[in-house]
Chains A and B, each alone.
Chain A
Amino acid sequence: DAGVIQSPRHEVTEMGQEVTLRCKPISGHNSLFWYRQTMMRGLELLIYFNNNVPIDDSGMPEDRFSAKMPNASFSTLKIQPSEPRDSAVYFCASSFKRVGAGELFFGEGSRLTVL
């Protein structure tokens, strides 16, 4: 079975540009999570969805970040405008249960570099 699929794997962009990261969760999973990983802050939860509905977006850094889940098989994380401090690896993860009841399956991540 295909795991969580993320694209692009690598993105290099210039400050001020819009960045869109994409995620396809595992079929049948009803919870989806976006995490950001940096050396300084480790893995941080940005937002998570349950049944396509955003449940908690308190980890989203600021208004420049937005996430959508239009259907059960697709989610996007958008940064507009991007800044150098947004450089990180962004992970999408999915689960067939809500947090606390089962494991999260992670994608391979999208490495973002903002110059």
Chain B
Amino acid sequence: GESVGLHLPTLSVQEGDNSIINCAYSNSASDYFIWYKQESGKGPQFIIDIRSNMDKRQGQRVTVLLNKTVKHLSLQIAATQPGDSAVYFCAENRNEKLTFGTGTRLTIIP
């Protein structure tokens, strides 16, 4: 069946470096994507979203890139800080359902 979020389960990054978290999706009909951050013991928190008619969107220290040709989504975090440690999920809108990937745990090395 189709799946979303075929990305690495863990990522360790040196504090101050940039982080890149990747996500693959398989449904070319998906038209809206969101990145969420989940800290331990908390609910997912919205980071940034992007529509399928865009290929890049920037927020504060974060950038989302969408490559529809290869069905790939990435989240770039600039100057990673200890507070960025969390699990990051990509989610896609399919048939008015937001389907989440399995998540990537980002660990910051001091």
Show the binding face of A for B, using Cβ within 8 Å: 4, 33, 35, 42-43, 45, 48, 55-56, 91, 93, 98-101, 103-109
Contact = CB atoms under 8 A, between A and B. Distances in A.
Contacts of A107: 43
A91 B43 contact: yes
B97 A99 contact: yes
B95 to A, nearest CB: 9
A52 to B, nearest CB: 17
A109 B43 contact: yes
Contact of B99 (A45, A55, A104, A108): A45
B43 A106 contact: yes
A99 B98 contact: yes
B42 A108 contact: yes
Q: Top 7 closest A-B pairs, CB basis? A: A106-B43, A43-B100, A103-B46, A100-B93, A99-B96, A42-B102, A100-B32
Nearest to B47: A103
A72 to B, nearest CB: 20
Among B31, B44, B89, find the residue whose CB has the most chain A CB atoms closer than 10 A: B44
Contacts, number: 50
Given A42-B103, A100-B31, A103-B49, A56 B44 contact: no
Nearest to A43: B100
Contacts of A33: 98
Greatest chain A CB density within 10 A among B31, B41, B43, B45 is at: B43
Tell me which of A33, A42, A93, A105 has the highest count of chain B C-beta atoms within 10 A of its own C-beta.
Answer: A42
Contact of A43 (B44, B46, B49): B44
Nearest to B4: A42
Given A4-B43, A42-B102, A55-B96, 11 more contacts: A43-B100, A45-B97, A56-B97, A91-B43, A91-B44, A93-B43, A98-B96, A99-B93, A101-B32, A103-B34, A105-B46
